[in-house]
Amino acid sequence: MFENLSETDLAYLAGFIDGEGSIHISIQHEEWFQPIISVSNSHKETMGWISSVLGAKCVYQYDKRPESGNWKSMYLASITGQRKILRLLQLIHPYLKTKKVQAKLMMAFCELRLEERMCNPKSGYTQDDIEIYERLCALNKRGNPKIAETVTAGFGKEKEYKVIRA
């Protein structure tokens, strides 16, 4: 999975996710957390390559404001699955600039969930899982927040983070 990508491809993909992507956790059916990496752009060929590289099942086309006629169609590709997301983020993390903290939190979430499932396949969500979800929500919130961020390795063991809002 993603092993055939060159360093150049990994760096390009990281830059694309930094600028046009989202690293987030969605709540599905008000019951379970689903980690997602998604990217959107109006350039169909680029999104075809991104979709192919990510192994996205499909690329969605949507019109942002069809009534105005001044907007290009947008294309959205996304991937889910904790193992897949964890592997991708491990490979592109060194190249990320603006979403490095989100990537680190998502990797911690995926590692925790995979570890918890190995021990107990029917395990519920831990406080650490919920904290990571809330942190990602705060980091991805729209607007112009002032965010100071520190995240340490081993999220469940050593927690050091803060969010400062304007």
The domain ranges of the chain are 7-140
Give me the CATH code for the 7-140 domain, please: 3.10.28.10
The pLDDT of residue 131 is above 60: yes
140-155 per-position pLDDT tens digit: 887 654 544 444 434 4
The proportion of the chain whose per-residue pLDDT surpasses 70, expressed as a percent, equals 77
Residue 66: per-residue pLDDT: 60
Hey, what are 54's tokens? 């990510």
55-102 per-position pLDDT tens digit: 986 677 776 666 666 778 888 999 999 999 999 999 999 999 999 999
Residue-wise burial string across 9-36, b where 16 or more C-beta atoms lie within 10 A, e elsewhere: ebebbbbbbbebbbbbbeeeeeeebebb
